[in-house]
Amino acid sequence: MTGEGWFVSDAGRRPYYHGAEAGFPLISLAYYLDIERDAARAAGTRKTIRDALDYQLALNRKVSNPYDYARQSFSIYKNGKLGRDRLEGFFMPHANETGYWWQGESARLSSLAAAAILGGRAVYPAADRAFGVSAELGEFAQHQVDWTLGRNPFDICMLYGFGVHNPPSAESAGDHVAGGISNGITGATLSDEGRGIVFAPGPDENNWRWLEQWLPHSTWFLLAATLMTSG
């Protein structure tokens, strides 16, 4: 982790970011605290969790962010080269190491909601607040789930069969199942850095990026929802 509070990846060459498991490091550290008996190691772990949560909240506040969408640090990877600059934005960069993979981030949002609750209970506990964490962390966690459930610029509930508007169908995305969660909203199609915002503009063969239901979305959502309803 850097002094600023963001995790590093690839031997420190770039920030850690992930389109599905962004909250996994914090969740792992929070569970690790349950078994660590060494006071110094536990204290270091709590500092890491605290610094990461503080960084995430500060990153969200740096620009106009009316939906409190979880922003991220990243570096682009294009033409076989990793960009030198550390960038900040809302969505997964389209120029990344896979060469093609970018899609909606419903899983990423729920994983960060779960991380805010589990991590917050470890370093910012508040028994009288929602989810047992500080007010700001509780609001952050709620807002990530809200985005998936329809509080987004497209007024679309990604949880199929619920809400007012659901994702449309597309041959490339496969069948929709009630209770399944679609990939979700992304940055503009032609933006290497994932700037702008778009949802299922077509053509059909590309619409899987936004409409496809994927088990990690439902898995992380279930964990977040369970944490929200348990002490």
Inside any domain, residue 43: yes
pLDDT of residue 12: 78
pLDDT of the residue at 218: 97
Does residue 2 lie in a domain region?
no
Largest distance between two CA atoms of the chain: 56
Q: Is residue 3 assigned to a domain?
A: no
Cα–Cα distances in angstroms (integers) from residue 8 to residues 19, 81, 88, 135, 160, in the given order: 16, 17, 14, 28, 35
- Can you tell me which residue has the tokens 């500080």? 134
The CA distance from 173 to 161, in Å, is 16
- pLDDT, residue 14, reads 87
pLDDT of residue 111: 98
Omega before 203 within 30 of 0, i.e. cis = yes
Tally of structural domains, the chain: 1
∠ at Cα 90 (89, 96), nearest 5°?
A: 70
pLDDT at site 61: 97
Q: Within a domain: residue 1?
A: no
* Distance in angstroms (rounded) separating the CA atoms of residues 207 and 171: 8
Whether 196 is covered by a domain: the verdict is yes
Q: Which residues of the chain have pLDDT under 70?
A: none
Range of the domain at 22: 8-226
pTM (whole model) above 0.85: yes
CA distance 124 to 59: 18
231: in domain: no
Task: Dump pLDDT digits (tens) for 64-99.
Answer: 999 999 999 999 999 999 998 999 999 999 999 888
Residue 191 included in any domain: yes
Q: Please answer whether residues 108 and 22 qualify as being in contact, where contact means their C-beta atoms are separated by less than 8 angstroms.
A: yes
pLDDT of amino acid 99: 86
Helix (H), strand (E), coil (C) string for the chain: CCCCCCCEECCCCEECCCCCCCCHHHHHHHHHCCCCCCHHHHHHHHHHHHHHHHHHHHHHHCCCCCCCCCCEEECCEECCEECCCCEEECCCCCCCCCCCCCCCCHHHHHHHHHHHHHHHHHHCECCCCHHHECHHHHHHHHHHHHHHCCCCCCCCCCECCCCCCCCCCCHHHCCCCCCCEECCCECCCCCCCCCCCECCCCCHHHCHHHHCECHHHHHHHHHHHHHHCCC
Inside any domain, residue 209: yes
- What CATH number did the domain enclosing 38 receive? 1.50.10.10
